[in-house]
């Protein structure tokens, strides 16, 4: 089946530093990838949608200069949290959609727990 991986699974960084999270589709080509953020005991909030080779589309209220998204290949998207602050601590989940699929199903990664100290 379709598998999406994320790396790292957990990361702790100091306030003011930047951290990069990778999202990979392992066995399919992902023309579209999505980044979500989840706060404790809450549902997933879509941050941005990225299409391979294009600029990401950010949801209202999401700072594009703070959350840099790159989707340079059909199997890799990255999310870089720049100048991280404690309020950026959260669970970040990516998903990918198979460009050849007619169902528009999204496949989700295992998530990355970011803690900013």
Partner 1 sequence: KQEVTQIPAALSVPEGENLVLNCSFTDSAIYNLQWFRQDPGKGLTSLLLIQSSQREQTSGRLNASLDKSSGRSTLYIAASQPGDSATYLCAVYGGATNKLIFGTGTLLAVQP
Tell me how far apart the alpha carbons of residues 77 and 116 are, in angstroms, rounded to a whole number: 22
Task: Name the residue nearer to partner 1 (CB basis): 46 or 76.
Answer: 46
Task: Name the residue nearer to partner 1 (CB basis): 69 or 93.
Answer: 93
Contact present, 33 and 95 (Cβ < 8 Å)? yes
Three-class SS state of 71:
strand
Residue 46, Cα to own-chain centre: how many angstroms? 9
Task: Name the residue nearer to partner 1 (CB basis): 28 or 34.
Answer: 34
Contacts with partner 1 by CB under 8 A: the residue count is: 20
Tell me how far apart the alpha carbons of residues 105 and 14 are, in angstroms, rounded to a whole number: 36
Sole binder of partner 1 in the list 19, 33, 69, 93 (CB under 8 A): 93
CB of 46 to partner 1, least distance (A): 6
Which residues sit at the interface with partner 1, rule CB under 8 A?
6, 32, 34, 43-44, 46, 49, 91, 93, 95, 103-111, 113
């Amino acid at each position: 089946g379709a598998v999406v991986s994320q790396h790292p699974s957990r990361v702790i960084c100091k306030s003011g530093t930047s951290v990069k999270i990778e999202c990979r589709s392992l066995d399919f080509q992902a023309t579209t990838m999505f980044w979500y953020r989840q706060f404790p005991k809450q549902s997933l909030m879509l941050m941005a949608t990225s299409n391979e080779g294009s600029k990401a589309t950010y949801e209202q209220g999401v700072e594009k200069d703070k959350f840099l998204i790159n989707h340079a290949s059909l199997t890799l998207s990255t999310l870089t949290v720049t100048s991280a602050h404690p309020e950026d601590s959260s669970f970040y989940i990516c998903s990918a959609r198979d460009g050849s699929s007619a169902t528009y199903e999204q496949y989700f990664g295992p998530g990355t727990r970011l803690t900013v100290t």
